[in-house]
């Protein structure tokens, strides 16, 4: 088995490069911003609210912004979003009071509500019918790697500059200009008349599809699945260091080592699951996420030591690596029924993810504070099992069933 970037057009490689460069830039911001907010005198509660503002803006505005992306064009929308987000990094360097940080975070959420449907739509069309999951896997692997590198670089910059946050934010701004250039230079706006499979291969315009009847999918079912998956995953995202040190009794050094090993394995497992989704079973890969949530919760609960927590974290992150390519391929398939509304369809499907990422940590923190870590882990396992049942009963018929009928001529 040979894993490689899917027979990529230069445009697909450019999108993967955009993901890497954008995340590298905002890895600097995500590391430095909470420290800067604390430096300005903001309380922990205020900082928590600060990091929720963008999620509220993104969920609220995504239905409108996804329509804008369909009407204005995916490349134009992505370029506009990248340019505006670059400006925000510049503004951070000159922000000195709390309300300015809140305003920038709100604008960031608004921009992400446009960028997210646009980039996912472009990946869906450039990935190719037989390798779209691999395209999403390489994109998210690039983002994950760049995010880790950006946070490491931010820590070093703060140390070298004696905590000069302005320099860190200006470096983030300088890096954020690069993905803007990559998208403008190496991607193109496809006419609506190009079928997605020909667009991925770089073909010219084909027969118009505007009047073709599109199969109707219950989009909200998929949004609900995305919510269940991401909320159970997000319940422990920010709490894992506390779980490892306070609940399992590990040292900070051991916890850091676990992060390092798990991150390294994700770089391999992401492309692997993309290949499995394209060539073996998308349904199987899609269900790995909720199974991993359940198993990791039980490992943390019953084996609260170095080995149990390490294996649990590896299982947890493996599930994350599996979910992204299969979910991306599913979004591409469902939204491909009507390209004129592709961004709106993808936007609706990802709203569930956004809500899960927002509400999951809140639920996790509440359960731990009110009833203890064990209750949090048991609840997480139960919710993950319900996501598995939800997928089998409601999502599964749309993952592979229609593809099999089409292959059989039905």
Query: 325-377, pLDDT tens digit by residue?
Result: 888 888 888 888 777 889 999 998 899 888 888 888 888 888 888 888 899 99
> Residue 259 domain-assigned?
yes
| Alpha-helical segments (H) within 211-341 | 219-234, 240-242, 252-279, 282-302, 306-335
CATH of the domain at 23: 1.20.1250.20
- The whole domain housing 274 covers 217-410
Rounded to a whole number of angstroms, the CA Rg of the chain reads 21
Are the beta carbons of 147 and 64 closer than 8 angstroms? no
Q: Given a cut of 90, is residue 282 above it in pLDDT?
A: no
Residue after which a domain boundary falls, among 139, 171, 188: 188
- List pLDDT tens digits, range 62-91: 999 999 999 999 999 999 999 999 999 999
> Which DSSP symbol is given to 394?
I
| Alpha-helical segments (H) within 8-131 | 10-39, 44-72, 74-92, 98-126
Average pLDDT over residues 138-154: 87
> Residue 287 domain-assigned?
yes
- Number of structural domains the chain divides into: 2
> Residue 209 domain-assigned?
no
Are the beta carbons of 142 and 20 closer than 8 angstroms? yes
What are the tokens at 168?
């860190």
Please check whether residues 375 and 227 belong to one and the same domain: yes
Please check whether residues 181 and 221 belong to one and the same domain: no
Give the Cβ contact number of residue 126 at 10 Å: 27
Please check whether residues 86 and 124 belong to one and the same domain: yes
Look at 138 and 233; give whichever has higher pLDDT: 138
Residue after which a domain boundary falls, among 171, 188, 205: 188
- 191: alpha, beta or left? (left if phi > 0; alpha if psi -120 to 50): beta
> Residue 205 domain-assigned?
no
> Residue 112 domain-assigned?
yes
Residue 7 confidence class, pLDDT cut points 50, 70, 90:
low
Percentage of the residues of the chain whose pLDDT score is greater than 70? 87
Please check whether residues 85 and 225 belong to one and the same domain: no
Please check whether residues 55 and 102 belong to one and the same domain: yes
pLDDT at 25: 93
At residue 388's C-alpha, the angle toward residues 4 and 324, to 5°, is: 25
Please check whether residues 133 and 276 belong to one and the same domain: no
Least confident span in 159-168, 303-312, 395-404: 395-404
- List pLDDT tens digits, range 196-229: 555 444 443 333 344 444 444 578 888 888 898 8
Residue 177 confidence class, pLDDT cut points 50, 70, 90:
very high
> Residue 291 domain-assigned?
yes
> Residue 273 domain-assigned?
yes
pLDDT at 66: 94
Residue 399 confidence class, pLDDT cut points 50, 70, 90:
low
Residue 404 confidence class, pLDDT cut points 50, 70, 90:
very low
Please check whether residues 308 and 245 belong to one and the same domain: yes
pLDDT at 217: 54
CA distance to 224, 232, 396, per residue, from 335 (Å): 16, 25, 17
pLDDT, mean over the chain: 83
Q: Given a cut of 80, is residue 395 above it in pLDDT?
A: no
* Closest C-alpha to 167, from 154, 178, 180: 154
What are the tokens at 297?
């919760």
Question: Mutual orientation of helices 373-390 and 282-302 as an angle, nearest 10°?
Answer: 160
pLDDT at 38: 87
By the 10 Å C-beta count (0-12 exposed, 13-18 middle, 19+ buried), 380 is classed as: buried
> Residue 30 domain-assigned?
yes
Distance between CA atoms of residues 199 and 193, nearest Å = 10
Please check whether residues 165 and 235 belong to one and the same domain: no
Please check whether residues 278 and 355 belong to one and the same domain: yes
Distance between CA atoms of residues 170 and 328, nearest Å = 33
Distance between CA atoms of residues 131 and 321, nearest Å = 16
| Alpha-helical segments (H) within 336-398 | 342-371, 373-390, 396
Residue after which a domain boundary falls, among 146, 170, 188: 188
- List pLDDT tens digits, range 83-92: 999 999 999 9
Please check whether residues 236 and 175 belong to one and the same domain: no
N residues, the chain: 410
Are the beta carbons of 335 and 346 closer than 8 angstroms? yes
> Which DSSP symbol is given to 408?
T
Q: Given a cut of 70, is residue 127 above it in pLDDT?
A: yes
Average pLDDT over residues 306-318: 91
CA distance to 65, 181, 315, 317, 405, per residue, from 277 (Å): 30, 32, 18, 17, 18
What are the tokens at 193?
């008349």
Least confident span in 172-176, 241-245, 340-344, 349-353: 241-245
Residue 5 confidence class, pLDDT cut points 50, 70, 90:
very low
Distance between CA atoms of residues 147 and 129, nearest Å = 28
Please check whether residues 184 and 305 belong to one and the same domain: no
The whole-model pTM stands at 0.82
Are the beta carbons of 136 and 123 closer than 8 angstroms? yes
Please check whether residues 242 and 171 belong to one and the same domain: no
């Amino acid at each position: 088995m040979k894993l490689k970037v899917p027979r990529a057009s230069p445009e697909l490689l450019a999108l993967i490069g955009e993901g890497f460069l954008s995340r590298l830039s905002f890895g600097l911001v995500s590391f430095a911003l909470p420290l800067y907010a604390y430096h300005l005198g903001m309380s922990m509660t205020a900082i928590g609210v600060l990091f929720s503002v963008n999620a509220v803006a993104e969920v609220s505005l995504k239905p409108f912004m996804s329509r804008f992306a369909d009407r204005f064009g995916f490349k134009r929308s992505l370029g506009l979003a990248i340019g505006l987000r670059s400006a925000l990094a510049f503004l951070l360097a000159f922000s000195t009071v709390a309300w300015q940080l809140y305003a920038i975070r709100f604008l960031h959420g608004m921009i992400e509500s446009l960028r997210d449907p646009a980039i996912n739509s472009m990946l869906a069309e450039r990935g190719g019918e037989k390798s779209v999951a691999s395209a999403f896997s390489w994109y998210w692997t690039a983002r994950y790697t760049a995010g880790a590198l950006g946070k490491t670089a931010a820590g070093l910059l703060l140390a070298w500059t004696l905590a000069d946050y302005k320099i860190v934010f200006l470096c983030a701004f300088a890096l954020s200009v690069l993905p803007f250039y990559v998208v403008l230079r190496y991607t193109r706006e496809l006419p609506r008349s190009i079928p997605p499979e020909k667009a991925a291969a770089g073909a010219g315009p084909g027969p118009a599809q505007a009047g073709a009847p599109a199969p109707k999918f219950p989009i909200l079912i998929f949004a609900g699945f995305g919510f269940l998956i991401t909320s159970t995953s997000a319940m422990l995202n920010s709490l894992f260091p506390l779980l490892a040190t306070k609940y399992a009794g590990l040292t900070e050094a051991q916890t850091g080592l676990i992060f390092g090993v798990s991150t390294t394995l994700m770089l391999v497992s992401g492309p692997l699951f993309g290949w499995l989704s394209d060539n073996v079973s998308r349904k199987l890969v899609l269900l790995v996420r909720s199974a991993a949530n359940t198993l990791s919760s039980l490992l943390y609960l019953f084996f609260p030591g170095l080995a149990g927590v390490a294996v649990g974290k590896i299982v947890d992150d493996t599930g994350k690596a599996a979910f992204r390519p299969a979910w991306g391929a599913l979004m591409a398939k469902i939204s491909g029924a009507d390209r004129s509304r592709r961004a709106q369809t993808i936007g609706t499907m990802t709203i569930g993810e956004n809500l899960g990422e927002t509400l999951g940590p809140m639920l996790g923190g509440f359960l731990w504070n009110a009833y203890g870590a064990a209750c949090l882990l048991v609840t997480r396992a139960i919710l993950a099992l319900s996501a598995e049942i939800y997928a089998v009963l409601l999502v599964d018929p749309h993952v592979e069933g229609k593809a099999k009928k089409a292959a059989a001529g039905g």
